Structure 1
Amino acid sequence: MTDIEDKLKRLPDKPGVYLMLSEEEKIIYVGKASSLRSRVRSYFRDGNASVKVSALVRHIKDIDYIVTDTEVEALILECNLIKKHRPKYNVFLKDDKTYPYIKITLDEAYPRIVTTRRVKKDGAKYYGPYTSAGSLHETIRLLRRLFPIRTCKSFEKQQRACLNYHIKRCLAPCAGNVSAADYKDMINEIMNFLEGKQERLIKNLQEKMLKAAENLQYEKAGELRDQIKAVEKVLEKQKIVNAAEEDQDVIAFARGSNEVCVQVFFIRNGKVVGREHFFLDGTDSLSRSEVMTIFVKQYYSRVADIPRKILLQEPIEDKDVIEQWLKEKASIRVVVQVPQMGEKLKLLEMVGRNALLLLEEAQLSRQKKKLADGEAILQLKEYLKLTTLPIRIECYDISNIQGTSTVGSMVVFEKGKPLTDEYRRFKINTVEGANDYASLQEMLYRRFKRGAGAAALPDLVLIDGGKGQLSAARDVMKLLGFASIPAFGIAKKEELLFTENEQEPIRLPENSEALYLLQRIRDEAHRFAITYHRQLRSKDSFRSLLDEIPGIGPKRKKALLNRFGSLENIRMASLQELEQVEGMNKKSAMQVYDYLCR
């Protein structure tokens, strides 16, 4: 502890971020402080520390820190470092995935509606995040039904409009059929819709409908009338929660065993326009205030749409700092409140009840799945006449298209659940053409040649295929001394199981948990093989196309791939962006642009 004690003495009395490191120099905790000296020292003198903090302190072998000018800067840096390093002892949103947004490309002359998982400062308008991709796509389908917005990725002037114009799904700005001003009006209407300002949208549409009728444009007036009806239908579903027509986020949570379900209601113009829920893991040792603080920091670090008012079920730490951060992020004054009475408290209680229902539903679903997985394993032992429970099941599949880029996959399920860390994929090296039997044998040989050296041996082997594939697999297992492990072939069409010693296939009872488990395992093996196969084909396609471009050698190909990530992204790049890639010049950029982008 000598080095740590020395560092504790030298800590500055300034705001910043501190990083706790393990013996392997891995970041295991990130925190922020208004005073690095007092905050970091508190970890080592607090005699009443929680179990989690005590465990953290035991594993700290080094401390690093970054000084910032303000607490707000420290808060932003803390959020970014937690997201980047995912430290073991920090609490973060379950699965911590990037959620999708609706993006309106205001940086384009004729904007589009697209989905994205990355929020950039590019002049576009973002709405979200959506935890449900289904609700996001449903919203986009509704918008495209209500508003004839363009969907083409690249905008070029055309002599004739495409089919979307003729079916009234696009105004065809590419063919000059709509002015930029009129198109911009429609974009403003879409933004009003997404921001909950439907009354303003209806009023604008009604004025346009009356004007069209006065000018004897009856077809246009009829289209506007239908549009108004569709918007009014959406409006009927939205609950008015306050007459003040305020923009608010309302946040409450429910606690379970070492997890929390947080519910967020989005209120725009006094109406509930949407809601999302999130889960936090590892929260048992945290107070309710700490849970709310962690969520607010992580949630608003990724959110683009921040309202003027945020109602919270619990008070948060560093309230003034967080309000200042939100103000700088949203460019408006943001007020964080914890209502104690009245309508706002009732609203929070309603959100809390919804969080509790979602938490109970998630827990019940997990319990049912756990019971179903246990029942499935017992049924498999009985139906397949196994001598031991099939705790560990391995399934193998082969994928190729017309004999090219043949690959194999091995997926592992343990106690009915996927063990993704032990999935393996195999690029078939010794087999030419489409030969599933030989490919299976190469894969099984490579897996069982290792024996139990890299992983536990399976209790049951599944082969995606019929008797021929099973026979090929068994030949290898016998050769390597693993004939005692039971193996079955599972046919795709009728879900029949083939075994080595029986003429007739085994048909598992319909609606049995055993059948559902085998289907899940087989489908997962197929998915994993197909995904790998597509990756290889994509790389081959990328290389072959770039190889055809004069002046683009291995270094420039690598630089292009590192910069853009995919062939599709290179196609979408501008000439200026191509020129900026390391090793490229105007001539080489123009060659790539002419070949791929035009």
Structure 2
Amino acid sequence: MFLYGHKLKNQPANIVEQLSKTPSDPGVYLMQNENNQVLYVGKAKHLKNRIRSYFNSSSNLSPKIQQLVHNIERFEYIVTETETEALILENNLIKQLKPYYNDRLKDDKTYPFIKVTLQEKFPKVLFTRNIKNDGSKYFGPFTSARSVRTTMNLLKRLFPYRSCTKTITGKDDRPCLDFHINRCVGPCIGASTKDDYNEIINHVILFLEGDKKEIIRQLKTAMKKSSINLEYEKAANYRDQILSIEQINEKQRMFNADKSYKDIIGIYLSNNEAAIQVLHIRNGNMVGRNHFLMESIMDNKENVIAREFIEQYYSFYHEIPSEIIVQTELDTEREITEAWLKSKKNKSVKITIPKRGDKKKLLNLAIQNAKEQYNNKFVGEKIQLEHTKNTLLEIEESLGLNKIPKRIECYDISNIQGTNPVGSMTVFIDGEPEKSHYRKFKIAHVEGINDYSMMKEVLSRRLKNLSDPKKPDWNNKPDLIVIDGGKGHLNASLQTLLELGLYPEINICSLAKKKEEIFVPEQAESIILPRNSTALHLFQYIRDEAHRFAITFHRSLRNKKSNLSIIDSIPGIGPKKKFALFEKYQTIKQIENASITNISKINGFNNSLAQKIKNTIKEWRKSQEKISDKLN
């Protein structure tokens, strides 16, 4: 391979001159900006023609490609022997460089897998998100962690493999609970040989591959063998496994005429956004499906998306089937992509476009599901955005604000009779909570019970950091501040904004809980929004979130302080006895659950002291419950 670089000038003549030096071979090209950052990686059967196409008339280019071309300052290319080699190299470079303008599957690194550790003498079946070349066999990706755990729970009920992580020697004294409830064959105590255990793992793999017919055949053989050997309990276990698998098989059966392994890829495309549904068919059964979303697509043509999706998906998805069914011809020769798939699977892979029959029915099903996914995601998002926009406009108009409140910050104070006072700040951006921006404050400069002064302290500490370059996380200026409280809370908070010169630039209001009254500056009467108002619902959500956040922080401080002081308050317990007590019982909860007899056995303790400890904790617990009731 040969790597070349060209500096692009603004003049078209120079571009033409430099492109004239680009070869007509197959290869990969890398578009870069003025900082030499790779913006886009592509492959071409004919490098010169493909690169030249970017700099011809822009009228035929999508807006995203036009933006890309505008930012190109330089390009490089790598010549390859074949287009298949270019495809492999392109895919590797995209994964390595993650260029901004390359369409990538959304969240493609988050999908979970089931991992079978075949490299071990007694393999485990595990949940994982990390694919390693360690000799394990991987099944997935699954669309959610929940679906993986559901599958693994089913596997554990069907097949008695081990769930422990210990090294198996066969010499343990006692097995775990799984052995006693027939969920494990007990290799740890030598109750199962390596061959018998690996037969179970083989059944797990066949199940995950969808080959339930072969599992049933093997289990029936094992059941007959056990019956002949008078191992009736073992035979009964095999019988139960067979019945369970047959019931599952009935629920999964679908288009059973064709026994091959295939994936069906359905694409629904609209407005430079696509939803893609992949159905996994194994031995005539639909054993799973995955869905993906692609946004801001460079080239919104089905044939381009189909080819790019196959390249991305099967470089990430380890189980490549023998047949891939799509709805359109690819934008390059089908044989090129098939050759690339063969290089990964080490077996032939066929890409087909059915016109009729069961395969066409499955393809239509995949496309229909893709459309549903598109509507749920993109159309639903647009409806939600419109709903949020109208809600924020209602807030702006109802409160007479000087701008739409895109960033809303809400503040609350939490304390019980002045103890452990804290403040909370919650943040909503475009009507949604931005939890990474939440902040909590310990009140440091206010003595006694004075909510107004506490609120002023919290606001002052937060707003003084707006322009601090050393604290960039605090530099986002709110469009609206919401105070949890009434008119008095608003006036105290407004005074802080005036002192800092931030009003009326930053809008402010307060929300009183009793009648859900909203108070704004320079207006004597409160504002009461209709009960069905979406603006009111958003205000309530924001206020309740700030209240929850403040209470949680206050409770954690109070519990921490109580845990430290409660034992110190008991007569007869000094530092040494306290150390001995917590060496035996690490938490107040453990001490509470311990018996008087067991506590009295600690060196230096007796029944009388143990009884004092139990009584003190009991009274303390009652007081904590009363405080919690007040907080809530």
Query: Structure 1 length as normaliser, TM-score?
Result: 0.73
How far apart, in 1, do the equivalents of 2:215 and 2:165 lie?
A: 27
How far apart, in 2, do the equivalents of 1:364 and 1:257 lie?
A: 11
Contact 2:223 2:234 in 1 (8 A): yes
Which of 485, 500, 517 matches 1:480?
Answer: 500
How far apart, in 1, do the equivalents of 2:425 and 2:32 lie?
A: 37
How far apart, in 1, do the equivalents of 2:177 and 2:545 lie?
A: 38
Which of 215, 218, 227 matches 1:201?
Answer: 215
Contact 2:58 2:66 in 1 (8 A): no
Give the direction of change, closer, same or farther, for the CA distance of 1:45–1:500 in structure 2 (3 Å limit): closer
Question: Do residues 56 (structure 1) and 71 (structure 2) align?
Answer: no
After TM superposition, give the deviation of residue 127 of structure 1 in Å. Answer: 1.1
Single out whichever of 447-456 and 325-334 deviates more from structure 2.
447-456
After TM superposition, give the deviation of residue 69 of structure 1 in Å. Answer: 4.4
Q: Which residue of 2 aligns with 1:538?
A: none
How far apart, in 2, do the equivalents of 1:463 and 1:329 lie?
A: 60
Question: Do residues 326 (structure 1) and 341 (structure 2) align?
Answer: yes
Q: Which residue of 2 aligns with 1:286?
A: 300
Question: Do residues 226 (structure 1) and 240 (structure 2) align?
Answer: yes
Which of 116, 121, 136 matches 1:104?
Answer: 116
How far apart, in 2, do the equivalents of 1:195 and 1:45 lie?
A: 49
Q: Which residue of 1 aligns with 2:361?
A: 346
Which of 278, 290, 306 matches 1:264?
Answer: 278
Give the direction of change, closer, same or farther, for the CA distance of 1:132–1:452 in structure 2 (3 Å limit): closer
Contact 1:445 1:476 in 2 (8 A): no
After TM superposition, give the deviation of residue 444 of structure 1 in Å. Answer: 4.1
1:350-389 matches, within 5 Å, as 350-377=365-392, 380=395, 389=404
Question: Do residues 442 (structure 1) and 454 (structure 2) align?
Answer: no
After TM superposition, give the deviation of residue 108 of structure 1 in Å. Answer: 1.9
Give the direction of change, closer, same or farther, for the CA distance of 1:508–1:83 in structure 2 (3 Å limit): farther
How far apart, in 2, do the equivalents of 1:274 and 1:367 lie?
A: 29
Q: Secondary structure at the match of 1:10?
A: coil
Q: Which residue of 2 aligns with 1:579?
A: none
Q: Which residue of 1 aligns with 2:481?
A: 461
How far apart, in 2, do the equivalents of 1:525 and 1:79 lie?
A: 49
How far apart, in 2, do the equivalents of 1:146 and 1:273 lie?
A: 16
Give the direction of change, closer, same or farther, for the CA distance of 1:466–1:521 in structure 2 (3 Å limit): closer
Q: Which residue of 2 aligns with 1:139?
A: 151
Task: Output one character per residue of 1:168-218: Cα deviation in whole Å (capped at 9) or x when no partner.
Answer: 333332232221111111111011111111111122222223333333333
Letter in structure 2 aligned against 1:42: S
Query: Aligned-residue CA RMSD in angstroms?
Result: 4.6
After TM superposition, give the deviation of residue 310 of structure 1 in Å. Answer: 0.8
Q: Which residue of 1 aligns with 2:185?
A: 171
Seq. identity, %: 36
Give the direction of change, closer, same or farther, for the CA distance of 1:386–1:282 in structure 2 (3 Å limit): closer
Q: Which residue of 1 aligns with 2:164?
A: 152
How far apart, in 2, do the equivalents of 1:63 and 1:262 lie?
A: 32
After TM superposition, give the deviation of residue 105 of structure 1 in Å. Answer: 1.4
Give the direction of change, closer, same or farther, for the CA distance of 1:257–1:160 in structure 2 (3 Å limit): same
How far apart, in 1, do the equivalents of 2:352 and 2:480 lie?
A: 57
Give the direction of change, closer, same or farther, for the CA distance of 1:230–1:457 in structure 2 (3 Å limit): same
Query: Structure 2 length as normaliser, TM-score?
Result: 0.70
Q: Secondary structure at the match of 2:118?
A: coil
Question: Do residues 66 (structure 1) and 78 (structure 2) align?
Answer: yes
Q: Secondary structure at the match of 1:17?
A: strand
After TM superposition, give the deviation of residue 307 of structure 1 in Å. Answer: 0.6
How far apart, in 1, do the equivalents of 2:126 and 2:166 lie?
A: 13
Q: Secondary structure at the match of 1:447?
A: coil
Which structure would you say has the larger Rg?
Answer: 2
Give the direction of change, closer, same or farther, for the CA distance of 1:207–1:439 in structure 2 (3 Å limit): farther
Give the direction of change, closer, same or farther, for the CA distance of 1:346–1:182 in structure 2 (3 Å limit): same
Contact 1:23 1:61 in 2 (8 A): yes
Contact 2:412 2:546 in 1 (8 A): no
Q: Which residue of 2 aligns with 1:534?
A: none
Contact 1:411 1:521 in 2 (8 A): no
How far apart, in 2, do the equivalents of 1:511 and 1:219 lie?
A: 65
Task: Output one character per residue of 1:335-386: Cα deviation in whole Å (capped at 9) or x when no partner.
Answer: 1112233332233223222222332333442244234324543565688787
Single out whichever of 192-201 and 136-145 deviates more from structure 2.
136-145
Give the direction of change, closer, same or farther, for the CA distance of 1:341–1:470 in structure 2 (3 Å limit): same
How far apart, in 2, do the equivalents of 1:176 and 1:505 lie?
A: 75
Letter in structure 2 aligned against 1:336: I
Contact 2:467 2:475 in 1 (8 A): no
Contact 1:119 1:304 in 2 (8 A): no
Q: Secondary structure at the match of 2:76?
A: strand
How far apart, in 2, do the equivalents of 1:369 and 1:124 lie?
A: 43
Letter in structure 1 aligned against 2:150: E
Q: Which residue of 1 aligns with 2:429?
A: 413
Q: Which residue of 2 aligns with 1:277?
A: 291
Letter in structure 2 aligned against 1:459: D
Which structure 2 segments of 5+ residues have no match?
A: 1-7, 449-453, 553-632
Q: Secondary structure at the match of 2:243?
A: helix
How far apart, in 2, do the equivalents of 1:388 and 1:268 lie?
A: 57
Give the direction of change, closer, same or farther, for the CA distance of 1:141–1:509 in structure 2 (3 Å limit): farther
How far apart, in 1, do the equivalents of 2:483 and 2:70 lie?
A: 47
Give the direction of change, closer, same or farther, for the CA distance of 1:511–1:221 in structure 2 (3 Å limit): farther
Q: Secondary structure at the match of 1:446?
A: coil
Single out whichever of 117-126 and 205-214 deviates more from structure 2.
205-214
Letter in structure 1 aligned against 2:36: E
How far apart, in 1, do the equivalents of 2:26 and 2:544 lie?
A: 54
After TM superposition, give the deviation of residue 239 of structure 1 in Å. Answer: 3.2
Q: Secondary structure at the match of 2:466?
A: helix
Question: Do residues 295 (structure 1) and 309 (structure 2) align?
Answer: yes
Give the direction of change, closer, same or farther, for the CA distance of 1:363–1:49 in structure 2 (3 Å limit): closer
How far apart, in 1, do the equivalents of 2:236 and 2:527 lie?
A: 63
Question: Do residues 89 (structure 1) and 101 (structure 2) align?
Answer: yes
Letter in structure 1 aligned against 2:263: D
Q: Which residue of 2 aligns with 1:29?
A: 40
Give the direction of change, closer, same or farther, for the CA distance of 1:297–1:452 in structure 2 (3 Å limit): closer
Contact 2:323 2:351 in 1 (8 A): yes
Count, aligned residues: 523
Give the direction of change, closer, same or farther, for the CA distance of 1:512–1:352 in structure 2 (3 Å limit): same
Q: Which residue of 2 aligns with 1:567?
A: none
After TM superposition, give the deviation of residue 19 of structure 1 in Å. Answer: 0.8
Task: Output one character per residue of 1:225-257: Cα deviation in whole Å (capped at 9) or x when no partner.
Answer: 332222122211213214231111111211222
Question: Do residues 236 (structure 1) and 247 (structure 2) align?
Answer: no
Task: Output one character per residue of 1:392-431: Cα deviation in whole Å (capped at 9) or x when no partner.
Answer: 31346999xxx9xx998764412x24679xx647798997
Q: Secondary structure at the match of 2:255?
A: coil
Which of 54, 57, 79 matches 2:91?
Answer: 79
Which structure 1 segments of 5+ residues have no match?
A: 531-598
Task: Output one character per residue of 1:461-484: Cα deviation in whole Å (capped at 9) or x when no partner.
Answer: 246899999999767545423355
Q: Secondary structure at the match of 2:184?
A: coil
Contact 2:426 2:546 in 1 (8 A): no
How far apart, in 1, do the equivalents of 2:259 and 2:219 lie?
A: 21
Contact 1:32 1:75 in 2 (8 A): yes
Letter in structure 2 aligned against 1:15: P
After TM superposition, give the deviation of residue 334 of structure 1 in Å. Answer: 0.8
Contact 2:489 2:510 in 1 (8 A): no
Letter in structure 1 aligned against 2:54: Y
Letter in structure 1 aligned against 2:500: L
Q: Secondary structure at the match of 2:367?
A: helix
After TM superposition, give the deviation of residue 449 of structure 1 in Å. Answer: 6.3
